[in-house]
Amino acid sequence: MNNAITLTVDADGIAVATMDLPGRPMNVVGDELMTALAHVVERVVSDDAIRGLVLTSGKADFCAGGDLDRMSKWQDPREPFEASMAMKAVLRRMETMGKPVVAAIGGHALGGGLEIALACHARIVLDDPKLKLGQPEVKLGLLPGGGGTVRLPRLLGIQTALQIMGEGADIAPAKALSMGLVTELAQDRDDLLAKARAWCVAHPKAKQPWDEARFRFPGGDSRSPAVAQLWSIAPSVAAAKSYGNYPAVTHIMSSVFEGGLLGFDAASAVESRYFAACAMSQESRNMIGTLWYQLNAIKKGASRPAKVPPSKVTKLGVLGAGMMGAGIAYVAAKAGIDVVLLDTSIELAEKGKAHSHGLLDKAVRKGRSTPEKRDAVLARIKPTTAYEDLAGCDLVIEAVFEDRAVKADVTRQAEAAIGPDAVFASNTSTLPITSLAQASGRPSHFVGLHFFSPVDRMPLVEIIVGRQTSDETLARGFDFVLQIGKTPIVVNDSRGFYTSRVFATYVMEGITMLEEGVHPRHVEQAGLQAGMPMPPLALQDEVSLSLSLHVIEQTKKDFAAEGRAYQPHPAESVIRQLCEIGRVGKKAGQGFYDYDDDGKRLWPGLARLYPPAAAQPPQRELIDRLLFVQANEAARCLEEGVLRSVADGNIGSIFGWGFAPFHGGALQFIDAMGPKAFVARARELAAAHGARFEPAAIVVAAAEQGRRLAG
Ligand code: NAD
């Protein structure tokens, strides 16, 4: 036996098995843990002195889920199938051994961790609102392959089980208790073990409900009329959300449906087959690669200069209390940082603080916070008009109007008030950082921190390194982004940086299609089918056409000043035309869509301005155009050194503008199909639609050398 689980037996004959994988920060389900659990079960079965088993953890978490390192090595579908069957054989033996088993859960029990707990006869859980229970597999393109799709429907009913596994959301202990997912809550760790032991003593002949002769699915099995009704709509509801891009969602439903017609063991085998299909899918490889490995690498500081010691911001200055400044003040104060929020009048500064008040009141109303916590956060935000109040700030972020002169003015005034070591950051969305730094007396301490709107919800901050930004300044910006719980990507200075530049290609491609005579509904549908969160024309309305026109004009001016030839994008004429007739977007109530209280509808006048062609292209062509144009631009960013790593490119695309997550990001899109196939298709698209599809040289080189962008 390995030492992944230690076993002690008390005087009452209750054995306590403590899972504690050596050398790992968390317990994960793999061979080591399951072999140890199998030994524990045999010992409990064979030792007459043992009357029951309590399964708990020696780590902060109960068990974090499957071992992704192991899964990433699987090459053949037989491997996941066999691993899943082997795990379930141990769990089945445990729940049918004739002695009570209780999970004593003092920390997160997720994925395979919750599945182990579901194979126990009772689950006692520490009543800590931060503790998470759930089956998040779907978020990585997987399916609960440790009996989740078999036991959850039998415990909670098919509908609830589908919800838990289809959404992958975390469930807090109190909610889990009300759903019937857990048996009892405990106040502290002593109480947890005491209650688990007591449950064993009180239920010496514990049996799972599904092993009772008269077992019935709560709410009915897949044959029952009520559930049949659910089955007639659930797949269409899921397809309407996922456009068929997430096979795991379909596999989860199929496994639950088929399992709901079968006995326990047959259902288990069916589940393992669907698990293997998920584990082998390109979608799960993409999501695990990016949203697990690359994201973790970024969070551990892969893009941060390693030599600079870690830093913390204790006092932050925010210049401009508008939409962005107010949001930045809120997230910083929530992270425990004192914030000075400065605007041109005290009313505007107070209004910025009121934004935090509103968000916090909502959290209190929803039970996610308390009045005391709200007041503590608000007390950290000091609205002001006085630059002297910035004294002592470690970091100042400006979020004033997007105007060089205004930005230069606030930079000088703030620098006069802060210490020589403080970092100054700009939240500009378009102006090159190197040029803004010209207003600074110490450009080495100047950096771009590009937040996204709405700041409280968007997870990404794009850090822009100007020509003179020092490594120390970059590291301090990086540490601050992590301190406020956001994910940083690091890019070099360039027009539109990375995110705005690539995002724009998506919207502009959609508008170009419209101009060519593609029906606007087909354009919008293609955006959603491609896996983007919003279709291109609707997105352009959100951003506003007037803002895009402003950026276009500015770019043209800059090109002229630099003596470079400017090539207008085919979409520009459409943006100009709509702006001329006042259809500037959602804020005006009219753009590509008409807006009113009932929602939005495509503007019928579009058909007059851009008559749909008699022959419409296939949707696949439109989807490819929308995805290839983004991926190719992202590759150009890598080629030009705007992007410093593939991980930053992938995470930036998913977290920044919602690039189809199942592709694993804009660069993984290329790696997944292989640079060779990408180059071939991009050349076809270039021949049909223009030079913007001509594949980036870096992809052509990768194709020729038979390697991937990620190496
Ligand atoms: P906003 O108009 O909502 O807010 C700007 C605020 O700055 C206003 O409250 C204004 O009173 C204040 N201000 C103007 N001049 C000032 C001065 N001299 N001193 C102090 N305060 C002054 O604009 P916003 O949308 O919050 O954008 C702010 C910055 O963030 C811009 O650079 C913008 O490009 C950038 N940005 C915006 C978004 C977005 O989605 N809106 C996203 C990323 C970055």
Distance between CA atoms of 443 and 464, rounded to whole angstroms?
Answer: 13
430, burial (CB in 10 Å: exposed 0-12, middle 13-18, buried 19+): middle
Active site residues: 462
* Shortest-distance atom of ligand 1 to CA 385: 20
Under DSSP, is residue 332 helix (H, G, I), strand (E, B) or coil? helix
pLDDT tens digits, 352-394: 999 999 999 999 998 889 999 999 999 999 999 999 999 999 9
What's the gap in Å between 299 CA and the centre of ligand 1? Answer: 28
| φ, ψ (nearest 5 deg) of residue 340 | -105, 120
Instruction: Categorize the per-residue pLDDT at 311 as very low, low, confident or very high, splitting at 50, 70 and 90.
Output: very high
Question: Are 554 and 561 contacting, i.e. CB atoms less than 8 angstroms apart?
Answer: no
Give the pair of three-digit tokens for residue 275.
């698990």
Q: Which residues in 183-276 belong to E strands, given as ranges? A: 184-186
The pLDDT value given to residue 2: 76
Q: What is the arithmetic mean of pLDDT over 167-177?
A: 96
Cis upstream peptide for 77 (omega within 30°): no
Within the chain, all domains assigned CATH 3.90.226.10 are found at: 5-206+216-280
The pLDDT value given to residue 393: 98
Question: Are 252 and 147 contacting, i.e. CB atoms less than 8 angstroms apart?
Answer: no
Distant-in-sequence, close-in-space partners of 467: CB < 8 Å, separation ≥ 6? 434, 437, 493
Distant-in-sequence, close-in-space partners of 477: CB < 8 Å, separation ≥ 6? 395, 423, 425, 447, 449, 463, 488
What's the gap in Å between 402 CA and the centre of ligand 1? Answer: 6
403, burial (CB in 10 Å: exposed 0-12, middle 13-18, buried 19+): exposed
Distances (CA, A) of 232 to 94, 257, 495: 36, 11, 50
pLDDT tens digits, 412-433: 999 999 999 999 999 999 889 9
Give the closest residue to 196 by CA, choosing from 17, 33, 65. 17
Longest dimension (CA), the chain: 89
Under DSSP, is residue 105 helix (H, G, I), strand (E, B) or coil? strand
pLDDT tens digits, 664-694: 999 999 999 999 999 999 999 999 999 999 9
Q: Whose CA is nearest to atom 14 of ligand 1?
A: 400
Per DSSP, helices labelled H in 13-107 are 31-46, 68-72, 78-95
Per DSSP, helices labelled H in 484-613 are 499-516, 520-529, 536-543, 545-562, 572-580, 606-609
The pLDDT value given to residue 711: 78
Give the closest residue to 295 by CA, choosing from 491, 450, 482, 111. 482
pLDDT tens digits, 102-125: 999 999 999 999 999 999 999 999
What's the gap in Å between 24 CA and the centre of ligand 1? Answer: 45
Q: Is domain 315-494 given the CATH code 3.40.50.2300 in the classification? A: no
- Of 260-274, 541-555, 696-710, the poorest mean pLDDT is in 541-555
The pLDDT value given to residue 496: 87
Q: Whose CA is nearest to atom 29 of ligand 1?
A: 399
State in words which class domain 500-641+645-705 has: mainly alpha
Instruction: Categorize the per-residue pLDDT at 43 as very low, low, confident or very high, splitting at 50, 70 and 90.
Output: very high
Question: Are 140 and 156 contacting, i.e. CB atoms less than 8 angstroms apart?
Answer: no
The pLDDT value given to residue 1: 57
What's the gap in Å between 345 CA and the centre of ligand 1? Answer: 14
Q: Which residues in 236-330 belong to E strands, given as ranges? A: 315-319
pLDDT tens digits, 500-523: 999 999 999 999 999 999 999 999
Q: Percent of the chain scored above 70 by pLDDT?
A: 100
The pLDDT value given to residue 86: 97
Distance between CA atoms of 622 and 689, rounded to whole angstroms?
Answer: 11
Decide: pTM greater than 0.75: yes
Distance between CA atoms of 515 and 171, rounded to whole angstroms?
Answer: 47
Q: Whose CA is nearest to atom 3 of ligand 1?
A: 322
Per DSSP, helices labelled H in 96-220 are 112-118, 148-156, 158-167, 173-179, 189-202
Strand partners, 417: none
What's the gap in Å between 398 CA and the centre of ligand 1? Answer: 8
What's the gap in Å between 645 CA and the centre of ligand 1? Answer: 30
Distance between CA atoms of 454 and 321, rounded to whole angstroms?
Answer: 14
* Strands 593-596 and 599-602, bridge-based pairing: antiparallel
Count other Cβ atoms within 10 Å, centred on residue 611.
Answer: 10
Distance between CA atoms of 577 and 585, rounded to whole angstroms?
Answer: 13
The pLDDT value given to residue 306: 95
* Shortest-distance atom of ligand 1 to CA 402: 32
| Ligand 1 pocket test target in 318, 324, 396, 431 with most atoms within 8 Å of CB | 324
The pLDDT value given to residue 645: 96
- Of 89-93, 290-294, 559-563, 641-645, the poorest mean pLDDT is in 559-563
Distance between CA atoms of 663 and 646, rounded to whole angstroms?
Answer: 14
* pLDDT over 80 (residue 325): yes
Give the closest residue to 72 by CA, choosing from 30, 32, 34. 30
Distance between CA atoms of 694 and 516, rounded to whole angstroms?
Answer: 19
Strand partners, 450: 462
Question: Are 335 and 376 contacting, i.e. CB atoms less than 8 angstroms apart?
Answer: no
CA terminus-to-terminus distance, the chain: 39
Within the chain, all domains assigned CATH 1.10.1040.50 are found at: 500-641+645-705
| Ligand 1 pocket test target in 344, 400, 497 with most atoms within 8 Å of CB | 400
Pocket of ligand 1 (CB under 6 A): 319-325, 342-344, 348, 399-402, 406, 409-410, 427-429, 450-451, 453
| Ligand 1 pocket test target in 345, 396, 397, 401 with most atoms within 8 Å of CB | 401
Give the pair of three-digit tokens for residue 589.
């109530």
Question: Are 255 and 272 contacting, i.e. CB atoms less than 8 angstroms apart?
Answer: no
* pLDDT over 90 (residue 546): yes
* Shortest-distance atom of ligand 1 to CA 327: 26
What's the gap in Å between 323 CA and the centre of ligand 1? Answer: 7
Give the pair of three-digit tokens for residue 710.
């990620």
Strand partners, 342: 319, 384
Within the chain, all domains assigned CATH 3.40.50.720 are found at: 315-494
Give the closest residue to 63 by CA, choosing from 126, 7, 117, 143. 117
Count other Cβ atoms within 10 Å, centred on residue 704.
Answer: 11
Q: How are the residues of the chain apportioned to helix, strand and coil, as percentages rounded to the nearest 5? A: 55, 15, 35
> Does an H or E element contain 475, and which?
helix 471-483
**Torsion sign (Cα): 138, 141, 144, 149:** positive
* pLDDT over 70 (residue 404): yes
231, burial (CB in 10 Å: exposed 0-12, middle 13-18, buried 19+): middle
| Ligand 1 pocket test target in 323, 347, 428, 462 with most atoms within 8 Å of CB | 323
Instruction: Categorize the per-residue pLDDT at 625 as very low, low, confident or very high, splitting at 50, 70 and 90.
Output: very high
Residue 534 sits at the vertex; the CA angle it makes with 533 and 535, to the nearest 5 degrees, is: 130
pLDDT tens digits, 11-31: 889 999 999 999 999 999 999
Q: Whose CA is nearest to atom 36 of ligand 1?
A: 429
State in words which class domain 5-206+216-280 has: alpha beta
- Average pLDDT score over the chain: 96
